[in-house]
Each structure stands twice: as C-alpha cells, then as structure tokens.
C-alpha cells in the first residue's frame, strides 16, 4: 500500500480565537492557583482538609473574575481616569466578597480555634489580594497587546491598499497626448476615406488599451509580453512618424521568460518618441535590450536623439535636469517609484546621457521566471490577431510577432531623461 500523504501541521496562534484563549487561561490560571495552595498546605502539614477552604475560594474567584471581565471590557476605551477609578472600585468590591466568603468558610473549618472573622479576613486578604490584582493586570495587559496587534494588522492592510492604489495610479498614468494624437490621426484617415489604415490603427489602439488595462495594477508580465505591448504601441506611432521611427529589439531567449511590472518600459519608449524622434527631421532609432546578468535581469532602453541639454555620464535613482523646458520628469519618476514599490532597494535605475548625444536608461531587477498563469487573459482575441488589415500592416512595418528586429548595438554610455 502506498504511504498516505501527511499534511504539515501548522499551529494556529494562541489568540487566534480570543474566546477559547480566555477560557484556557481562566482554567489554567485558577486551576494552577488552587493546586499551588494545596501543595503549600500539604507541605505545612494542613492535610487534605484544606480543600474545604481552597476549592470554594477558587470557584468563587473564578466566578468573580468572569464578572470582572465583563466590567473591564466595558471600561476599556474610556477616559483613563474613569477606567482606572471604576476598575479600582470593581476590584475592591470583588476582592471584599471573595475574602469574606473565604474567611467565613475558614471560620467554619477552624471553629474550635480562637480565630476571629476579622483576623481571617485580613489573613486571606493578603492571599487573595495579589492574586485578583494580578488577574486584573494580566487581563488589561493581554487586551492591550491584542489591541496593538489589531491596530498593526489594520495599518498593514491600509498600507497594502495604499500601495496597491499607488501602483494603479502610476500604472495608469498614460500620456493623454498619445491618445489625442492617435484619435486625431484616425479621424483624419476617416475624413480622407482611408478606411483600411484607419481600421488597422483603431484595431491596434484597442489591443494596446486592452493590454494596458486588463492586468492587475501590481501584477507582472513576462519580457516577451511587455515587448509585444511595446510593439503594439510602436505600430500606432509608426503610422504617424513612418520612416522617422526606427526600432531595434535584442531580447535574449533566456530573458524572454523573466517577469517585470507590467507597462514598466512603455513610458521610456514614449519618452524617446517625444524627445528623440519627434524633434528631429530625420527621426531617431529606439533600441531595447534584455539580457540576464547572473541572477538579475538587465534592461536597456536607448535612443539616438539629441539627449539632455546638460549631459550626465551616469545618475542612479535620481532624475536629472530636463532636456526640454516642457518636460516634467513624471515618466522617469513614475518608473523609479514603481521599481521602489516592487523591489525596495534591490534594483538599479541608472540614466546616462553622453556629450555626443543620445539617451539611455538602464534597469536591473531580480530575475523571476515565468509562472503558470492564464495566458489567455493577456492574449489578444483571435478576431483581432487575424484581422486582415492588421496582418498587412504588421507585415509592412516588419513588426510581425514572430519576427525579431536586428541585433542592436547598445552603447555603454546610457542616460535617462525627464519625461513629460
């Protein structure tokens, strides 16, 4: 017979169930106190007859502590003066009742001795006072600890929600000019009755927006999926800039399965189009390199544009002065913040802008291999991928999915630029 699979035992936290923890502590505490007093009596030669006093006192103390727990629970959260004043009053009352009952029972036990009820009262007050006082202190201490733990858990959940919201905000911070320009281009094509390219452009835009909005805000995609999304974006922009927009992709096979935050590179490409391709009459080339460096994924996005007005050899985790007066640096700051949210300090964000021109951003993050996910969620619908106008346009631009561009030569001097 095959061996049965044994699930690993994972003990639950003691205070996971507060009611159960309270009763466990009640029985353990009062039971331990009774046992201790019995052992002490036996050592002092009092015999088992001491149970006639200890057992009723323990039951009474147990019952009074239940009543005190209800009172204390209602006092928690009030003004300190009210809480501690009423706590002292309730504790004194419960202690008096407990000691009176115990002294009365002891008086019955010691009926043949010359011991007054007052003497027995003060005798057992010295015994029960510290016990009930310690119970009160533990009750407040444990509940205070649990409140702090709940507050810490609540704060952690709020921070997680805030982080998720911030990632969503950063991720959806698309440049509205891109959408306006694309829609205007489509409108112009329609007015010119060029329905075929207009339809292809609209199809690409819908696919790009679907890729942009479908995944989780804090989710990750493979490098291959990120590149496919970039090609959709470049397809749209190429219809505006035509031959002025040149691209190169050098994606190592082992790096294509690495995971990175979705739409991490799109702002860099958008930045390159705005500040490298658009201002130059001859256009510019945008290059993307992805390769593994040990246990890290190295991504390099560069362009052959004019670069920064104030060249920088290298800056890490900081945004240099803008190359353009209308640039706000939002795009680069967006990427820097997303990297910090996702990887903490375990990442590299480097910008280079040499004197001879050009702009390069270097990103290094831990290598995380692709896990089994629902790839259909990110894959475009069949009717979009097989649309005739889209297939023809992709063949014209040389951006067919299975077709890789030429190997790029990435300069060692790279640079980032502030994006608008």
pLDDT band per the 50, 70, 90 thresholds, residue 87: very high
Q: What is the pLDDT of residues 346-398, one digit of tens each?
A: 999 999 988 888 899 999 999 998 654 444 444 444 444 444 444 444 444 44
Radius of gyration of the CA atoms of the chain, in A: 37
Of 172-176, 177-181, 278-282, 286-290, the least confident: 172-176
CA atoms within 13 A on the CB side of 199: 11
Distance (Å, whole) CA 87 – CA 71? 8
Which residue, among 337, 345, 394, 369, has the nearest Cα to 223 in the 3D structure?
Answer: 369
Task: Look at residue 37 in the predicted model and tell me its pLDDT.
Answer: 83
Task: Look at residue 256 in the predicted model and tell me its pLDDT.
Answer: 92
Question: Domains in the chain, please, with CATH?
Answer: 18-166 (no CATH), 175-370+383-397 (3.30.565.10)
Distance (Å, whole) CA 227 – CA 399? 11
Mean pLDDT to the nearest integer, 152-159: 83
pLDDT at 115 over 80: no
**Exposed (0-12), middle (13-18) or buried (19+): which is 417, by Cβ within 10 Å?**
buried
Task: Look at residue 258 in the predicted model and tell me its pLDDT.
Answer: 94
Distance (Å, whole) CA 110 – CA 65? 27
Whether the full predicted model's pTM is greater than 0.75, yes or no, is: no
Q: What is the pLDDT of residues 215-273, one digit of tens each?
A: 665 678 899 999 998 998 898 888 888 899 999 999 999 999 999 988 889 889 988 99
Distance (Å, whole) CA 383 – CA 392? 14
pLDDT band per the 50, 70, 90 thresholds, residue 185: confident
196: tokens are 């075929």
Q: Which residues contact 39 (CB under 8 A, 6 or more apart)?
A: none
pLDDT band per the 50, 70, 90 thresholds, residue 40: confident
The full 3-state SS of the chain, as one line of letters, equals CCCCCCCCCCCCCCCCCHHHHHHHHHHHHHHHHHHHHHHHHHHCCCCHHHHHHHHHHHHHHHHHHHHHHHHHHHHCCCCHHHHHHHHHHHHHHHHHHHHHHHHHHHHHHCCCCCCCHHHHHHHHHHHHHHHHHHHHHHHHHHHHHHHHHHHHHHHHHHHHHHHHHHHHHHHCCCCHHHHHHHHHHHHHHHHCCCHHHHHHHHHHHHHHHHHHHHCCCCCEEEHHHHHHHHHHHHHHHHHHHHHHEEEEEEECHHHCCEEEECCCCHHHHHHHHHHHHCCCCCCEEEEEEEEEECCEEEEEEEECCCCCCCCEEEEECCCCCCCCCCCCCHHHHHHHHHHHHHHCCCCEEEEEECCCCCEEEEEEEECCECCCCCHHHHCCCHHHHCCHHHHHHHHHHCCCCCCCCCCCCCCCCCCCCCCC
State what percent of residues in the chain have pLDDT above 90: 23
Is there a contact between 26 and 65 (Cβ–Cβ < 8 Å)? yes
Q: Which residue has the higher pLDDT, 310 or 177?
A: 310
156-161 long-range contacts, Cβ below 8 Å, gap at least 24? Answer: none
Distance (Å, whole) CA 113 – CA 103? 14
Q: What is the pLDDT of residues 298-337, one digit of tens each?
A: 999 999 998 887 766 666 655 655 444 344 456 788 788 8
**Exposed (0-12), middle (13-18) or buried (19+): which is 172, by Cβ within 10 Å?**
exposed
pLDDT band per the 50, 70, 90 thresholds, residue 181: confident
pLDDT band per the 50, 70, 90 thresholds, residue 177: low
- Rounded to 5°, the CA angle 172-177-181 comes to 125
Task: Look at residue 53 in the predicted model and tell me its pLDDT.
Answer: 81
Q: Which residue has the higher pLDDT, 140 or 189?
A: 140
pLDDT band per the 50, 70, 90 thresholds, residue 208: confident
Mean pLDDT of the chain: 77
């Amino acid at each position: 017979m095959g061996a049965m699979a044994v699930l690993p035992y994972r003990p639950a936290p003691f205070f996971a169930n507060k009611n159960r923890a309270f009763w466990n502590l009640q029985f353990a505490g009062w039971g331990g106190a009774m046992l201790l007093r019995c052992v002490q009596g036996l050592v002092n030669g009092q015999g088992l007859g001491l149970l006639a006093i200890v057992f009723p006192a323990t039951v009474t103390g147990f019952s009074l502590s239940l009543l005190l727990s209800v009172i204390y629970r209602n006092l928690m959260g009030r003004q300190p003066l009210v809480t501690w004043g009423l706590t002292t009053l309730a504790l004194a009352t419960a202690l008096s009742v407990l000691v009176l009952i115990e002294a009365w029972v002891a008086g019955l036990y010691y009926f043949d001795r010359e011991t007054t009820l007052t003497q027995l009262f003060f005798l057992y007050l010295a015994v029960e006072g510290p016990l009930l006082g310690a119970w009160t202190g533990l009750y407040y201490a444990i509940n205070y600890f649990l409140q702090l733990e709940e507050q810490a858990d609540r704060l952690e959940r709020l921070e997680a929600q805030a982080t998720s919201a911030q990632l969503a905000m950063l991720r959806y911070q698309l440049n509205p000019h891109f959408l306006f320009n694309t829609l205007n281009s489509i409108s112009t094509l329609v007015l010119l009755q060029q329905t075929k390219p207009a339809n292809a452009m609209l199809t690409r835009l819908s696919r790009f927006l679907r890729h942009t909005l479908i995944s989780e805000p804090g989710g990750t995609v493979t490098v291959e999926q990120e590149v496919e999304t970039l090609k959709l974006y470049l397809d749209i922009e190429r219809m505006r800039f035509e031959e002025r927009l040149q691209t190169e992709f050098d994606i190592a096979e082992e790096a294509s399965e690495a995971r990175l935050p979705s739409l991490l590179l799109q702002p860099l490409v958008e930045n390159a189009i705005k500040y490298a391709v658009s201002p130059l009459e001859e256009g510019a080339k945008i290059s993307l390199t992805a390769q593994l460096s040990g246990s890290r994924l190295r991504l390099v996005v560069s362009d052959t544009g004019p670069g920064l007005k104030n060249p920088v050899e290298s800056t890490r985790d900081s945004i240099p002065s803008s190359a353009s007066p209308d640039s706000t640096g939002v795009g680069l700051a967006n990427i820097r913040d997303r990297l910090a949210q996702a990887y903490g300090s375990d990442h590299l964000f480097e910008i280079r802008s040499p004197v001879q021109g050009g702009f390069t951003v270097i990103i290094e993050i831990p290598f995380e291999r692709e896990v089994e996910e629902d790839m259909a969620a990110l894959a475009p619908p069949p009717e979009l991928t097989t649309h005739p106008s889209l297939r023809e346009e992709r063949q014209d631009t040389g951006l067919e999915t299975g077709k890789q561009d030429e190997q790029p030569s990435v300069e060692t001097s790279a640079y980032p630029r502030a994006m608008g």
